[in-house]
Amino acid sequence: MNRAKGKVCVTGASGFLASWLVKRLLLAGYQVIGTVRDPEGAKERLQLVKADLMLEGSFDEAVKGCHGVFHTASPVLRPSSDPKKEILAPAVEGTLNLLRSCKKNSSLRRVVLTSSSSTIRVRDDFDPKIPLDESSWSSVDLCEKLQLWYVLSKTLAERAAWEFCNDNDIDLVTVLPSFVVGPSLPPDLCSTALDVLGLLQGQVEKFQWHGRMGYVHIDDVAQCHILVYEQESASGRYLCSSIVLDNNELVSILSARYPSLPIPKRFEESSRPRYDFNTSKLQSLGFKEFKSIQQMLDDCVASFVKEELNSIKQFKNQHEILITKQLQHTQE
């Protein structure tokens, strides 16, 4: 299927992943319509339009005439009081609102939905000796019990997308990235970058909660989205992850590469089941080798330095000046 230089839509275009996806699509020659809440202008072959996840019909104009739609927009913040209103509703209803707009578009060939590896790994009935693959689904009941609202939102949104697209004959492919690491294009750091930056500063709370986690470079995730869009044979779900590490394995790698930073020495052992990922389905589609965890972390740290570490100003603590100097030194 020849989709070179076609017209595509990317929702949530100002986000961490979406901005990389837009960059890669433009480099590949596509015309891109990006949806944002507050459009301020765009580069050549990129048009930004306003859209609201919770407003039905909001995506009609954005997807009109597009051959492909990449749906990356989804709430990621931890809820303050009402998880169903703040996380679940925007994820599920926002996805369905987009797909209703897609249904009206006669030019549409394929929708690529950004899901998450978390939609397959939160369950207590799998064999830890067998790597998880795309056939697995997280348990809704377990997510609710553990109050994993982001995981639940991604699981319910993807399930709703499959049901809608199957009922309405829409060609849907979903990408399931693990924890995305790499350089940030937007000026404001996303939650994953903030978590990495916090770890470099010696903070343990967020990563203690993470436990064992899959990791993947942001550019690999963007390239994966384009691959599953362009390959006509692509179908179903695609797990996108480079490596799975325990927290102690991660901090060991970080400490070796940045020995002068106050990186935690060890974490408490996680009580969650051990798991690994099977990414052979994506590789069988022609995906090349994943970037290493070392490259992910180096690229992420380099982006902090490149932006003159303005993001560190978000952390008013005693390590601020020290970390700024040490990070700059490691990149010299």
**Residues annotated as part of the active site:** 154
User: Which H or E run includes 181?
Assistant: strand 179-181
DSSP for 245-294, please give it.
E-HHHHHHHHHHH-TTS---S--PPP-SPP--B--HHHHHTT--PPPPHH
Where b means 16+ CB within 10 Å and e means fewer, 282-308 reads beeeebeebbebebbbbbbbebbeeee
Output phi, psi for 4, to 5 deg. -55, 135
User: Which H or E run includes 121?
Assistant: helix 118-121
Q: How far is CA 125 from CA 119, 139, 143, in A?
A: 14, 9, 14
User: Which H or E run includes 173?
Assistant: strand 172-177
How many degrees, rounded to 5, is the angle at CA 56 between CA 52 and CA 59?
60
